[in-house]
Amino acid sequence: MLVRMLRGTMVGAGAAFGLAMIAPAAAHAQAQTAGTRFGVEAAYGSEHIGFGVGAFVKFHLLDVSEHPITGRVSFDYYFPSSSFCGAFADCGYKFFEIAGDGLFDLATSNAKIKPYVGAGLVYAHSSFSADFCDFSDCGGNGDLGIDVLGGINFMGNSKLMPFVEAKFDLRSGGAFIIKGGVHF
């Protein structure tokens, strides 16, 4: 059990580190004009996903008229409810998502409330383990799909920018996810 927990923690830490290193380097040229923003978020998803926490990096891609297009790479780790396991003792269900999205601001750059829409690719990974699995995971699978989303950024006088978002994962076993967080 401890080995499985450590392996899951290492995978999540490796993915978060990779996101933190790759996305800013890829967006360095664009970041000179609009800046790169990091953020944290909390999420709640349907279909036994439950509550999750995550981090992301956003970077400027290009401007279309007064409406910027932003890239975002995110990693969210979820803590599914124990009801997924039912009556099984020593059961574990793990779930995480890695997403890369393009976001289009619907408001002009000087607006205080900025709605946005977006779409992108999402990789979701889930695994299930239980005491009857002979000391190995009963199974895990990854699934690649498309996500579509919409949200609102709340512009204030500080460098912190809160947001709320709704997202549909269009993949097998897809989910509806509500997020909220803050950009730095």
The CATH number of the domain holding residue 60 is 2.40.160.20
Nearest to residue 124, comparing CAs of 143, 137, 140, 139?
143
- Do the bridges between strand 139-154 and strand 67-79 make them parallel or antiparallel, or are there none, so unpaired? unpaired
Could you list the pLDDT tens digit for every one of the 184 residues in the chain?
333 443 444 444 444 444 444 444 443 333 334 578 999 999 999 877 889 999 999 998 887 777 789 999 999 999 886 555 555 556 677 889 999 999 998 987 788 899 999 999 999 988 877 666 654 446 678 889 999 999 999 988 788 999 999 999 998 777 899 999 999 8
Task: Give how many domains the chain has, as a whole number.
Answer: 1
Domain holding 17, by residue range, is 2-183
**What b/e readout covers 138-168, taking b as 16+ CB neighbours within 10 angstroms?**
eeeeeeebebebbbebeeeeeeebebebebb
Residue 182 per-residue DSSP state: E
For 56, the token pair is 């992301």
CA 81, chain centre distance (Å)? 19
Give 164's Cβ-side CA count (13 Å radius).
2
